Amino acid sequence: MARVLAAPPVDSTLEPVFGDGGLPVVGHTLEYIRDPLKLLGSRWEKYGEVSWLTMAGQKWITVLGPNACQQVLQNADKAFVNSDGWSLLIGPFFHGGLMLLDSEEHLRHRRIMQQAFTRDRLTKSVDALNPVTATGLDAWQGGRDVQVYPALKALTLEVATSIFMGGAEDSTDADIALLNASFVACVQAATSIVRYRVPGTRWKRGLDGRAVLDGFFRRYLPARRATETDDLFSVLCHIEGDNGERFSDDEVIDHMIFLLMAAHDTSTITLSTMMQYLGQHPEWQDKCRAESEALGTDAPSLAQLDELPSVDLVMKECLRLVSPTPVVARRAIKDTEVQGKFVPAGTYASVAPHFTHHMAQYWPNPEEFDPGRFADDRREDKVHRYAWEPFGGGVHKCIGMFFAGAEIKTIMHHLLLRFDWSVDPDYVAPLNFTSLPFPEDGQPVQLRRR
């Protein structure tokens, strides 16, 4: 039954936000995990752009459609903050990460960190990406029903560890496996219903995972402080702001944990999705491979990646179909409005670009794989400034989006030169949205080495 979140001020022309809490205790959490598009679609049909529901033990407004998303993400009246929204979900596991900072603190950290993502550093990162990717793919075996998602996750973690840390010199395979499991535990804790350190819960596993990650990076911190190298860990230890300010040890650790998670988790699902759709659409796989072969190199430079337009189109379409970060969190710190609806101070907001990416009002045949929609002669993504926003928007737009694009295209280039693959045309990935999306079946493909 629809109820009002809060009555607007008596002298206001604003309308109230309507919604419903869902089931006792869990609210709509399980519905979201099972099928977020179905849940959000039902909210859109019933309530429109802004409604409220209960998730993670709190009332949230769901912000749907590009107009509402743009208003909250651009945050012109500075009513919404990042830190409180994300902190409720992942604060104990990724505190201090750039996404969990606000205002002057966020601006200070971002200004310093931007020096780690310059064009020159990105060029060096791509040069370092190639040999790591090649070595990682040497171990891949062809066959039927090869589960590429876990293989890609291992590869992107290896890539991130190498590029961001310059390698983890004395780490064993068991150390890296524990690192990966710890990242997974931290991310999946976001939707934990029990949010206390209770044995057997996702929350407890997330807290344990954070302790493992903290210990791992602190082990290598002194060496990175002592010697300046090109890897991100060392860069964060040595870069300075305009006034000579530098990150403390704790700040470096916090940023490394968050960046390494973001770099390999989001890239993994995008690469996995690309392999699925290229396997189901061999004409696009052939087109992408022809461009990669035309480069005449198995170690493309950053500039050469721009000569892979079809790979770029496929990547953008897959970021639309499966948004690596389906929703972003905010919290109102003062009374405000969203699309004419009254939002009281303290309200959590779930902004859903993933829903926008599937709206037929903006994307013809939205469930169809059609990379050409991003081509210069169509540019369906330009129908609205916030029609396509897989990297967020406003001052918190992902600082690593250009690195992510270069990493994905580099790895896909190597895959195309080394392998052919196919996927059953009727296959639908069973995506799990317990945290960031991933295919529960490991994303099987029929893989053949060329």
pLDDT in tens, 256-295: 998 888 878 889 999 999 999 999 999 999 999 999 999 9
Degrees (nearest 5) of the Cα angle 337, 341, 346?
Answer: 55
Query: Does residue 308 contact residue 396 with C-beta atoms inside 8 Å?
Result: no
pLDDT for residue 187: 81
Block residue for tokens 């390999």 = 264
**Per residue in 360-380, pLDDT tens?**
999 999 999 999 999 999 999
- Among residues 91, 80, 88, 90, which one has the least CA distance to residue 57? 88
Partners of residue 329 on adjacent β-strands: 350
Pairwise CA distance, residues 290 & 310, whole Å? 10
CA distance 51 to 61: 5
3-state secondary structure of 27: strand
Distances, alpha carbon 391 to alpha carbons 1, 156, 421, in Å: 35, 18, 28
> Taking every pair of C-alpha atoms in the chain, what is the biggest distance, in angstroms?
71
pLDDT at 170: 67
pLDDT reported for residue 181 = 87
Adjacent-strand bridge partners of 15: 341
Query: What is the arrangement of strands in the sheet containing 419-422, beginning at the earlier edge strand?
Result: 143-147, 444-449, 419-422
Given phi > 0 = left and psi -120 to 50 = alpha, else beta, which region is 3? Answer: beta
Beta strands in 258-339 (DSSP E): 328-332, 336-338
pLDDT value for 114: 87
Distance between CA 69 and CA 135 in Å, rounded?
41
- The encoded tokens of residue 141 equal 């075996």
pLDDT tens, the chain, 450 aa long:
799 999 999 999 999 999 999 998 889 988 998 999 999 999 999 999 999 999 877 899 999 999 999 999 999 999 999 877 778 778 888 888 888 888 889 888 998 888 888 899 899 999 999 999 999 999 999 999 999 999 999 899 888 888 887 766 667 778 778 888 888 888 888 777 788 888 989 899 999 999 999 999 999 899 889 988 888 888 899 988 778 888 999 999 999 998 888 878 889 999 999 999 999 999 999 999 999 999 999 999 999 999 999 999 999 999 999 999 999 999 999 999 999 999 999 999 999 999 999 999 999 999 999 999 999 999 999 999 999 999 989 888 888 899 999 999 999 999 999 999 999 999 999 999 987 899 999 999 999 999
Nearest Cα to Cα of residue 128 among 93, 178, 167, 85: 167
Please give the pLDDT value at position 167. Answer: 64
Query: Residue 52: helix, strand or coil by DSSP?
Result: strand
pLDDT of 145 reads: 93
